[in-house]
Amino acid sequence: MNAERHEFRAPQEAAGQRADRFLADAIGSLSRSRVKALIVAGHASRDGHALKEPAEAIRVGAVYALEIPPAIPALPEAQDIPLSILHEDADLIVLDKPAGLVVHPAPGNQDGTLVNALLAHAGDELSGIGGEKRPGIVHRLDKDTSGVMVAAKTELALRRLSESFAERDLERHYLALCWGLPEAMEGEINAPIGRHPADRKRMAVVERGGKAAITRYKVLRSWGTACALVSCRLLTGRTHQIRVHMTHIGLPLVGDPVYLRRTPAAARSLDAPVRDALLAFPRQALHAASLGFRHPINGQALHFESPPPEDMAGLLSLLDGNAE
């Protein structure tokens, strides 16, 4: 596959602009950081001469060219892992992630991840992100959180979707099965989140050094004061945000291996078989139930939903039986 070449004659209104910004704006599908990297790597020219400085001021009338090398194969290995696809087009994939699936390769998890699965599913359709044929992970779900998420297939789609997430121009709702019942059946938790001061592997609500975090919640169902099924809407996207915020107001998630530190007092009101099943639940009972956003290319409003997975649905059935 040949390199993709773009040429532009600099107009009067571009005078004095940085070369990387001018080329990024002219091409439209690449981020400025990507264009900057290509310039530094020797893939840009001005009037046929090498352009080496991304910050060079644009000269009116000069012809600027940028060559985009063919995308190289991604380093993670493509693996045929079954996926539940809710929607797919040339720009993005929306899927229903199962609990237990890690999103991105990392030390200790180099394969068997969502990225490995997406490379196998759509590898030939990926146009190249950062010069590499790989899917663009717009947002992440924890390994043991299930539900709806979106991945980009092109660099432009990734950039625009990332901007939508950063600007909160989307709707994200989660279902959380929590221990206990809040005093207010709906409300907003506005509490900054940062690293736990005594345990760096955990997050916590902190007074200093945290990032703004806002979660709106509404109790959908409750079983006495033992458990509540809560709808959570994220207005920000911090690590473990729902798990930290619900624990902060005294409603830790059923099964949470990090933030549920002891048997909750609320469990005592349940019959022993139901109580034991909830205490033995092997993951946080958290499900990304819906995701709404505008298509990054055509602007169409999109909305996707996923019902609670079988393991969470089983807990709800047990609780319903306990209440009879």
Instruction: Please give the full DSSP string across 197-238, using - where no structure is assigned.
Output: SS-TTSEEE-SSSPBP-EEEEEEEEEETTTEEEEEEEESS--
111 is catalytic: no
> Catalytic pick from 20, 91, 96, 142?
142
Tell me what percent of the chain is helix, strand and coil, each rounded to the nearest 5: 25, 30, 45
Nearest alpha-carbon partner for 234 in 195, 162, 292: 292
The C-alpha R_g of the chain, in whole angstroms, comes to 24
Residue the block writes with tokens 């958290």: 286
Residue the block writes with tokens 């840009």: 44
Instruction: Collect all residues with Cβ–Cβ distance below 8 Å to 153 and sequence separation of at least 6.
Output: 90, 91, 92, 93, 122, 125, 126, 127, 135, 136
**CA dihedral of 283, 169, 134, 147, whole degrees rounded to 10:** 20
Give the active site residues. 142
